[in-house]
Amino acid sequence: MFTLFSFTALATTALAAPHLAKRDKVYGFDISHYQSSVDFESAYNDGGLRFVYIKATEGTTYEDSMFSSHYGGATDAGFIRGGYHFAHGDSSASDQADFFADNGGGWTDDGITLPGMLDLEASCSENDDWEGWIQEFSDRYHENTGRYPVLYSSPSWWSECTGDSSAFKGTSPLMMACWYVVICLVLKI
């Protein structure tokens, strides 16, 4: 059975993949160990999905047990893929960026690897300066990989925790989660 955690759309300008036909939007999904069995071939061939973000790390110590398996399956099916990191605002952003880059969040200029994605869903109370925390993580991730991360959040979290910040405009696409809907616009900033 194929379970989608969320659907998103990504503008083709954000992807540099020569094997994709030009289209207005490219659809994909994100997964973690909660989706232990994923039919990547069906998602690609029957579902028309073309990219996937796979949970790699969380905080400074957790590595997702399904990351390697999911990453290999996604690659074999032809997906453009990348890792994502679930942020914990109560510990060092730089340490988390280092941990992520070292454990699945790296980036290579191979046409099929997406820049890492920073998943921002933790409680706003974990940090009183989320904008500063995100900036520190982003800068350190950029130092490690040469790319800035994609930022992933919900509209309510982004509004409540960052005050609808536009500080990352120009460096990091903001992918907004839209659970229980078919299509969601990716780029907010």
3-state secondary structure (DSSP) of residue 169: coil
Backbone φ, ψ for residue 145 (5° rounding): -125, -15
Phi-psi group of 146: left, alpha or beta (phi > 0 → left; psi -120 to 50 → alpha; rest → beta): left
C-alpha count within 13 angstroms, C-beta hemisphere, residue 73: 21
119 noted as active-site residue: yes
Q: Active site residue: 30, 58, 64, 98, which one?
A: 30
Q: Active site residue: 58, 64, 98, 119, which one?
A: 119
Q: How far is CA 134 from the centre of its chain?
A: 14
How far is the C-alpha of 23 from the C-alpha of 11, rounded, in Å?
Answer: 8
46 noted as active-site residue: no
Q: Residues 84, 87, 92, CA angle at the centre, nearest 5°?
A: 125
Q: Active site residue: 90, 121, 128, 164, which one?
A: 121
Placement of tokens 């969601």 in the chain: 184
Q: Where are the alpha helices (DSSP H) in the chain?
A: 40-45, 67-77, 93-102, 130-145, 155-162
90 noted as active-site residue: no
**Enzyme catalytic residues:** 30, 119, 121
